[in-house]
Amino acid sequence: MSNIRDVAREAGVSVATVSRALSDPDKVSQTSLNKVHSAIDKVGYRPNMLARSFRSAKSYAVVVLVPDITNPFFSQVIRSIEDRAQQKGYAVLLGDTRGILEREKEYIRRVETRLADGVIQLRPDEPEKQSSYMPEGVVCVNACGCESTKGPRVRIDNRGAAKAVVDYLISLGHKRIGVISGLKDNPHTIDRLAGYKEALAGADIAFDKSLVAEGDFTTWSGLNSAKQFCTMTERPTAIFCMNDEMAIGAIQTLKSHGLRVPEDISVTGFDDISYARYCDPSLTTVAQPAEEIGKLAMDMLLRLIEGEELAQEENVLPAEFVIRKSTGVPCKD
Amino acid sequence: MSNIRDVAREAGVSVATVSRALSDPDKVSQTSLNKVHSAIDKVGYRPNMLARSFRSAKSYAVVVLVPDITNPFFSQVIRSIEDRAQQKGYAVLLGDTRGILEREKEYIRRVETRLADGVIQLRPDEPEKQSSYMPEGVVCVNACGCESTKGPRVRIDNRGAAKAVVDYLISLGHKRIGVISGLKDNPHTIDRLAGYKEALAGADIAFDKSLVAEGDFTTWSGLNSAKQFCTMTERPTAIFCMNDEMAIGAIQTLKSHGLRVPEDISVTGFDDISYARYCDPSLTTVAQPAEEIGKLAMDMLLRLIEGEELAQEENVLPAEFVIRKSTGVPCKD
DNA sequence: TTGTAAGCGTTATCAT
DNA sequence: ATGATAACGCTTACAA
C-alpha cells in the first residue's frame, strides 16, 4: 500500500505538493500537477481517507436512525437521503434501531466518537423523552417531525392531512368513521387524531372513543384491529387508518369477513407507499413527499455540520391527498 | 474535546495506561483502572474512533451495495446484515446504486481508500463483467448469488426453486404456462428460466418462446408485461413471475381485464416479500430466507476481513415453496 | 510555487 | 504493571 510519501518521491516533489495537488490543485503549478498525477498512476496510490478524516477531524458520514428499514416509506426517505449524501461526498451509516432506545444510543455514540458528523432521525420523538438523551454537540435533524417535535425538523402537516381525509369521508356522507391509530403516545398518532377530531367537530359529529382502535403501524396490527369493527353491532361505514400498511391489513380482515371495500365500508391509508396503488382496491391515502423530505433533511443537516445557521428550524412540506378506489359513499343498511 | 492525554494527566498515569485500560483492561491494575475511569468521567472523555481506526488501519465498516433499497426483499436482507454488523461492532455504509455502475465503483472506492473494510453485493453479477472491476485487495461477498457467480457468495437454488413452482403448476393440470422474467441477461433470470424449462421438459411440454415476457423486476414491468398475455388468442392458464412485485403488477392487469385469479388464471411470485401474504389473492411464491442470507453473508465477509479462510466459497441456502391463494386448477375453456 | 516540519489522537514497542 | 516515545498518513502553518 503506497502512501503520499511514495508518490512524492516518485514525482520528485514534496509531500506537501502532492497533498495540495489532490485537495487544492489551483495552488500547484501545471508541471508539478502532471508529475504528481503520473506518479500516482505509476505507484497505484489511493489516498488514505481515514488519515484525512482523522487529520481534518471530520468523518464525512451521517447516521440515519430508522425504526425499521423494511417499512417502504422509510426506505424511500432513506434512498433520497443517500442520494443527496452521495452528491455531497458524505456516506450514510445505516442505523436500523428496531425501536430500541439502546441501539439508538449506540449509534448516536458514533458521532460522539467522531465516526459520524451528524444524525438524521426518522422516528418522531416523544416530547418528554427527546431532549434528554441527545448529547451536547451532536447535531440532529428529525425528518419525521410532528407538532411537538423540538429542534431542527422537517415534517408534513399531519393534523391538516388527517383532517382532509376525514373531511372527504364526511363529504361522502359517512358519519360513523372508525380509526386505526398508531401507538397512543406516538406523536404522529396524536397529530393525526387531532385532525380526525377537528373534522368531526366541523361536521357536528360527536367523538366516539369506541371507534378508535390502537395499532402500531404494522400490517399485522391493522389486520387485528380491524376485527373489532367487523363484529360491532353498529359498524362504522368507513375506517381512517393512520398508515397504508395498517389499511392493507384492515382491508384483508374486512374481506375475510365478507365485507366489500368500498361498497360496504370505506378505508383510507396514510403515506402512499408504492403498494397503495397496486392493492385491491387501490388505496385512498395521503401522499407524503418522501423524496423531498429526505433531501431537505440532508441539506439541513449538512448546513448544521458546516456550522451555518438554518433559515428556519422547522420545514413543513405539503402532502397530497390521493383519492383512489377504497372509498365511496356509505352503504345504507 | 478532551483526549487521552487529558485523561492520563487527570488520572496521574501515562497515556499508555489509559489506552490499555480501555482496549485491554486485563493488562492494567485495578487501582489504575479505577483512576482512569473516574478521570474519564471527570473530563467527559470520548475516545476518538477516527484516530483509532486510522492507527489500526481498520475502519470497522462495510459497504452494502444494493440496486434499490425500496425493494422489500433487499431491505430485509439489509436489516439482517445491519443487525449482524452491529453485534460485531461494524457499521453499515449504505450504497444504493440504482443499478448505476459508476455509483457502484464510487462505493467500492471507499474500501480502496480505507473508509470501509469490505463489500456485500446484493446484485447478481453478470459473469463477464464481474471480475473485471472489483479491484485487487477488495474483499467482497455476493449475497444474491447465482450459478454463474464467482467468488465468495451465498445463494439459493434458483433453478430448483423455479422448477418446484412450475412442477406444482403442472401438477395442477396447467400446460400453457407463461413467464414474466427479469431482464434477459440477469443471472437470476437465467437460473430461474432454466428451472422453468426443466419442469416443462420433465412433463414433455414444449418450450414456447412466445410465452416468455421480459420484465425488469419492478411492479410496473409486471403490470405491463401481463398485458400481452391478456390479449393472446390462446391465453396461458398460469403465469410464473420471477418476483413478487411483478406478480402483483400482473395480477392488477389481469383483474382489470376482467380475469379472475386463480379461477381464470393462476399467478406465482418469487421472494415472499411481506406484502405477498396480504395481496388479493395472497401469493403462491418462493420464500427466500432473507434473514439467513444477510447474516451468513456478513459472517463470511467478517471472516474474509480478518484474513481467515472460508469453509466454503459458496453457501446454498434452502428456499421454501409457499402455496397460497393465487394458484388453482386451470380453467377449462 | 514549493518545501520543511509540526502536529492530529491513538496504539504498540520497548524499556523499566 | 507502567511509562516514554515512535510511528500511522495526512494537512497546514511557516519559511524560503
In CATH, A158-288 is 3.40.50.2300? yes
Which three three-digit cell numbers place residue A42? Answer: 505509476
* Protein contacts of strand C with Cβ less than 7 Å away: A 12-17, 20, 27-29, 31-32, 54-55, 57; B 1, 3-5, 15-16, 19, 22-23, 45, 47-48, 51-52, 54-56
The CA angle B17-B18-B23, to the nearest 5 degrees, is 95
Q: Is the pLDDT of residue B74 over 60?
A: yes
Task: Indicate the average pLDDT of chain B.
Answer: 95
Give the pLDDT confidence of B203-217 residue by residue, as tens digits: 999 999 999 999 999
Superfamily of the domain at A4-47 = lambda repressor-like DNA-binding domains (1.10.260.40)
Length of chain B: 333
pLDDT band for B261, please (50, 70, 90 cuts). Answer: very high
Q: What's residue A124's pLDDT? A: 85
Closest partner residue to B54 among A50, A72, A75, by Cβ? A50
Q: How far apart are the first and last CA of chain A?
A: 79
Q: Do B279 and A280 touch (CB under 8 A)?
A: yes
Q: What's residue B316's pLDDT? A: 98
For residue B247, give the chain A residue with the closest CA: A278
Q: Say which residues have a Cβ less than 8 Å from residue B20's Cβ, sequence separation at least 6.
A: B27, B28
Count contacts between A and B (CB, < 8 Å): 132
Q: Which residues of A touch B280 (CB under 8 A)?
A: 252, 255, 279-280
**Residue A132 Cα, gap to closest chain B Cα (Å):** 17
The whole-angstrom separation of Cα A63 and Cα A81 is 10
Where b means 16+ CB within 10 Å and e means fewer, A112-122 reads bbbbbbbbbbb
Nucleotides in D strand less than 7 A from protein CB: 1-5, 7-13
Q: What's residue A132's pLDDT? A: 54
Per the CB < 8 A criterion, the answer to whether A121 and A144 are in contact is yes
The matching CATH number, chosen from 3.40.50.300, 3.40.50.2300, 3.10.150.10, 3.30.70.270, for A55-156+289-318 is 3.40.50.2300
Closest partner residue to A76 among B70, B78, B279, by Cβ? B70
For residue B253, give the chain A residue with the closest CA: A278
Q: Give CATH 3.40.50.2300 domain extents, chain A.
A: 55-156+289-318, 158-288
| Cis peptide preceding A262, ω within 30 of 0 | yes
The whole-angstrom separation of Cα A12 and Cα A6 is 10
Mean local confidence (pLDDT), B184-213: 97
Q: What's residue B127's pLDDT? A: 66
Q: Do B219 and A278 touch (CB under 8 A)?
A: yes
A84-91, long-range: CB < 8 A, 24+ apart: A84/A294, A84/A295, A84/A298, A84/A299, A85/A298, A86/B103, A86/B106, A88/A298, A88/A302, A89/A60, A90/A60, A90/A61, A90/A62, A90/A117, A90/A298, A90/A302, A91/A60, A91/A61, A91/A62, A91/B93, A91/B110, A91/B115
**Residue A91 Cα, gap to closest chain B Cα (Å):** 7
Which three three-digit cell numbers place residue B115? Answer: 473508509
SS3 A201: helix
Best probe of the B interface among A114, A252, A267, by most B CBs < 10 A, is: A114
Which three three-digit cell numbers place residue B263? Answer: 379461477
Distance of CA B270 to the CA centre of its chain: 13
**Residue B45 Cα, gap to closest chain A Cα (Å):** 9
Closest partner residue to B54 among A51, A94, A113, by Cβ? A51
pTM of the model: 0.95
Closest partner residue to A115 among B49, B57, B106, by Cβ? B49
The whole-angstrom separation of Cα B218 and Cα B68 is 10
Give the pLDDT confidence of A32-62 residue by residue, as tens digits: 999 999 999 999 999 999 999 999 999 999 9
**Residue B75 Cα, gap to closest chain A Cα (Å):** 5
Neighbours of B306 (CB within 10 A): 10
**Residue B168 Cα, gap to closest chain A Cα (Å):** 26
Q: Do B70 and A46 touch (CB under 8 A)?
A: no
For residue A255, give the chain B residue with the closest CA: B280
Q: Which residues of A touch B72 (CB under 8 A)?
A: 70, 72
Q: What's residue B297's pLDDT? A: 98
Q: Say which residues have a Cβ less than 8 Å from residue A146's Cβ, sequence separation at least 6.
A: A124, A155, A158, A187, A188, A190, A191
> For each of chain A's 333 residues, which pLDDT tens digit applies?
899 999 999 999 999 999 999 999 999 999 999 999 999 999 999 999 999 999 999 999 999 999 999 999 999 999 999 999 999 999 999 999 998 999 999 999 999 999 999 999 999 877 666 545 789 889 999 999 999 999 999 999 999 999 999 999 999 999 999 999 999 999 999 999 999 999 999 999 999 999 999 999 999 999 999 999 999 999 999 999 999 999 999 999 999 999 999 999 999 999 999 999 999 999 999 999 999 999 999 999 999 999 999 999 999 999 999 999 999 999 876
Best probe of the A interface among B4, B109, B115, by most A CBs < 10 A, is: B115
Give the pLDDT confidence of B271-327 residue by residue, as tens digits: 999 999 999 999 999 999 999 999 999 999 999 999 999 999 999 999 999 999 999
Q: Is the pLDDT of residue B129 over 80?
A: no
Which three three-digit cell numbers place residue A131? Answer: 431532549
Between β-strands B320-322 and B285-287, what pairing exists: parallel, antiparallel or unpaired?
antiparallel
Give the pLDDT confidence of B3-35 residue by residue, as tens digits: 999 999 999 999 999 999 999 999 999 999 999
Q: What's residue B100's pLDDT? A: 93
Give the pLDDT confidence of B78-90 residue by residue, as tens digits: 999 999 999 999 9
Q: Which residues of A touch B283 (CB under 8 A)?
A: none
For residue B275, give the chain A residue with the closest CA: A275
